[in-house]
C-alpha cells in the first residue's frame, strides 16, 4: 500500500479513482460502489470525475481494515463511521464549551448565577468554582 505525503490539506480533492484505490489497497470499482451507496462520497470535478481527499483515502483504509481484518459488514461499517463522526462533533463542541467556560471564569466574580422559583422570585448567587469540573 502506498504512503500519503505528510503535508497535505486533509480535505483537498486531489486523487483520481485509480490513485485513491491504489493508496487504499482496493480495486477502483470498489470505490465507485462505495460512492454509489454513500459510504465514501468524493468531491467531483466540473466534468463529473471523482476526486478523493487524503481524508477519504484514510476512510477507505479504515473500511478495508474493518471489512477484511475485522469481518464487519458494510452496514456495520456505516454505523461505525456515523458514530465516529458524532464523537468528533461532540469533542469539538466540548472544546468550544470549555473555552467559553474559561472565558467566563476569567472575568471574575462580577458574573453571577441567578435562580428563579416557579412563583417568580429571583435569587442572586455566586459562581461556585469548586462545582465546576474542567478536564485539563
- pLDDT of the residue at 133: 52
Contact 26, 59 (CB under 8 A): no
Cell numbers for 15, please give them.
486523487
Bigger pLDDT: 125 vs 12: 12
Cα distances from 8 to residues 11, 34, 50, in angstroms, run: 8, 23, 18
Widest pairwise Cα distance in the chain: 68
Residue 104's pLDDT band, with cuts at 50, 70 and 90, is confident
User: What 3-state class would DSSP assign to 123?
Assistant: strand
What is the extent of the structural domain holding 55? 8-72
Bigger pLDDT: 78 vs 110: 78
- pLDDT of the residue at 136: 47
Backbone phi and psi for residue 49, each to the nearest 5 degrees, phi listed first: -75, 145
Query: Does the pTM of the predicted model rise above 0.95?
Result: no
Q: Is 133 within a domain?
A: no
Q: Give pLDDT tens digits for 25-70.
A: 999 999 999 999 999 999 999 999 999 999 999 999 999 999 999 9
Q: Is 136 within a domain?
A: no
Q: Does the pLDDT of residue 128 top 60, yes or no?
A: no
CATH of the domain at 51: 1.10.1660.10
Amino acid at each position: 500500500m502506498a504512503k500519503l505525503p505528510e503535508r497535505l490539506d486533509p480535505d483537498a480533492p486531489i486523487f483520481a479513482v485509480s490513485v485513491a484505490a491504489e493508496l487504499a489497497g482496493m480495486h477502483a470499482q470498489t470505490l465507485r460502489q462505495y460512492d454509489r451507496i454513500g459510504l465514501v462520497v468524493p468531491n467531483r470535478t466540473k466534468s463529473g470525475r471523482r476526486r478523493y481527499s487524503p481524508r477519504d483515502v484514510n476512510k477507505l483504509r479504515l473500511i478495508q481494515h474493518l471489512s477484511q481484518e475485522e469481518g464487519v459488514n458494510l452496514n456495520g461499517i456505516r454505523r461505525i463511521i456515523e458514530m465516529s463522526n458524532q464523537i468528533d462533533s461532540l469533542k469539538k463542541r466540548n472544546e468550544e464549551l470549555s473555552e467559553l467556560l474559561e472565558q467566563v471564569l476569567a472575568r471574575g466574580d462580577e458574573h453571577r448565577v441567578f435562580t428563579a422559583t416557579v412563583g417568580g422570585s429571583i435569587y442572586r448567587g455566586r459562581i461556585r468554582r469548586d462545582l465546576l469540573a474542567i478536564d485539563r
